[in-house]
Structure 1
């Protein structure tokens, strides 16, 4: 397995969901990425990362954080490409935003039902 595959391959999802409180926190964490980017997932992950009794919540906050970091990189790349092409690719930042919106809503719905969600394309930088 190459180093790149190790970074992008999703870890297996947690098998057991947490209590309703954890599911609500995961729901808010996933949805907050639409408005606040990686800030709220980072805060939620930092608050919960050392709590051994919340493995599902830690997994979901880490997944949301990794995806929002990936989206931030995609925004930067889209803006650079739009600038380089003198506005010809003006729609790229909007496509990134729509992808972020759709995948955050899908993740929030899955988290609310207690299922572990894996974003289809996210750099797994936080392990």
Structure 2
């Protein structure tokens, strides 16, 4: 039986900050939480898919910006991406804690 758990959804969004601890942690932690609790938490799948889409999108943006940084073009983009990867998950966590869904801006929908 599915139950509402806004606090768990909030922690799923905050799990993205694990990329500061270990490589790809921002993707792995939310995916693991999703797989462990997918049959227990209401709306977890929608939140997790949005998180995965955000992580994949911004990984691609960071790679492209990193390549452009070689030519001194993408350095500013890397700084902006770094800020966004902290700010957006926190906004998503606040929305989830309030029982709302957060659609991450600038995200490509890989998973629907």
Tell me, yes or no, if the aligned pair for 1:82 and 1:90 is still in contact at 8 Å: yes
| Higher relative contact order, structure no. (Cα contacts within 8 Å, ≥ 6 residues apart) | 1
Pick aligned residue for 1:32 from 15, 31, 34? 15
Specify the SS of the correspondent of 1:54. coil
Computing the radius of gyration from Cα coordinates, the structure with the larger value is 1
Equivalent position of 1:108 in the other structure = 93
1:45 shift after superposition: 2.4
Query: Judging changes above 3 Å, is the alpha-carbon distance between structure 1 residues 126 and 88 closer, same or farther for their aligned structure 2 residues?
Result: closer
Report the number of matched residues: 104
Q: Deviation above 6 Å: which 4+ runs of structure 1?
A: none
Equivalent position of 2:54 in the other structure = 67
1:96 shift after superposition: 0.4
Deviations, residues 6-43 of structure 1 (Å, cap 9, x unaligned): xxxxxxxxxxxx52xx2122111111212322111221
Q: Which runs of 5+ in 2 are unaligned?
A: 20-25
Query: What TM-score do the two structures reach when normalised by structure 2?
Result: 0.80
Q: Give the RMSD, CA atoms, in angstroms.
A: 1.8
* Separation in structure 2 between the aligned mates of residue 54 and residue 29 of structure 1, nearest angstrom: 11
Tell me, yes or no, if the aligned pair for 1:41 and 1:62 is still in contact at 8 Å: no
* Separation in structure 1 between the aligned mates of residue 62 and residue 53 of structure 2, nearest angstrom: 14
Alignment of 1:48-67 (within 5 A): 48-49=37-38, 51=39, 54-67=41-54
Query: Judging changes above 3 Å, is the alpha-carbon distance between structure 1 residues 75 and 89 closer, same or farther for their aligned structure 2 residues?
Result: closer
Query: What TM-score do the two structures reach when normalised by structure 1?
Result: 0.72
1:78 shift after superposition: 0.9
Equivalent position of 1:47 in the other structure = 36
